[in-house]
Amino acid sequence: MRLVLASSSPRRQDLLARIGASPDRLAAPDIDETPRKDESPRAYVVRLAREKALAVSREAGEIVLAGDTTVAVGRRILGKPEDEADLRRMLALLSGRRHHCYSGVCVVDGEGRARVRHSDTVVAFKRLSDAEIDRYVASGEGMGKAGGYAIQGLAEAFVRHLSGSHSGVVGLPVFETRALLEASGYRFA
């Protein structure tokens, strides 16, 4: 089976390499990622992972893998910051508190059957000073990242506690991904 990764994320490619999987091609789908009214964060990432996987054309002998990750405080979904002010707002909201990082993954097998799993990781940030927030915003690292931070980068120093899947926070829960790929007939290197 050939593997199609429905993403152009280098982080997802790196995480796949950790489990011996290598995409044969990349196909980043263009879908509307707007949360639906009253949609829970978990339902949101599961829906987006499924929609991304199904939006990619699949040829004979191919399986498609897609994922989506979001950060949530309560039921409030924190997407990617729109600008530096939005990033500051997110970091201030996360400062000194626990939040959830939900990651959904979907594999469409060779017969067109979609399988979906998710991970829920609890992350607790230390209390951030204004200077720490300023430095992080100035680094540019949080732009383009769900919740405004990259746990695999400078923001790892903010994490006081983590319970769940570190790889899920990075962008693809490798345990769940491997299980779905195996169930879909993918042969690992």
Q: Is residue 160 part of a domain?
A: yes
**Owning domain of residue 29:** 2-183
The pTM score is 0.94
Q: What pLDDT is recorded for position 82? A: 96
Residue 93: CATH number of its domain: 3.90.950.10
Q: What pLDDT is recorded for position 41? A: 97
Q: What pLDDT is recorded for position 63? A: 97
Beta-bridge mates of residue 64: 4, 108
Q: What pLDDT is recorded for position 189? A: 74
Q: Is residue 188 part of a domain?
A: no
Give how many domains the chain has, as a whole number.
Answer: 1
Which regions in the chain score pLDDT beneath 70?
A: none
DSSP string, 41-91: HHHHHHHHHHHHHHHS---TTEEEEEEEEEEEETTEEE---SSHHHHHHHH
Q: Is residue 189 part of a domain?
A: no
Residues taking part in catalysis: 68
Cα dihedral angle (15, 19, 23, 26), rounded to 10 degrees?
-20
Q: What pLDDT is recorded for position 163? A: 98
Q: Is residue 8 part of a domain?
A: yes
Q: What pLDDT is recorded for position 188? A: 87
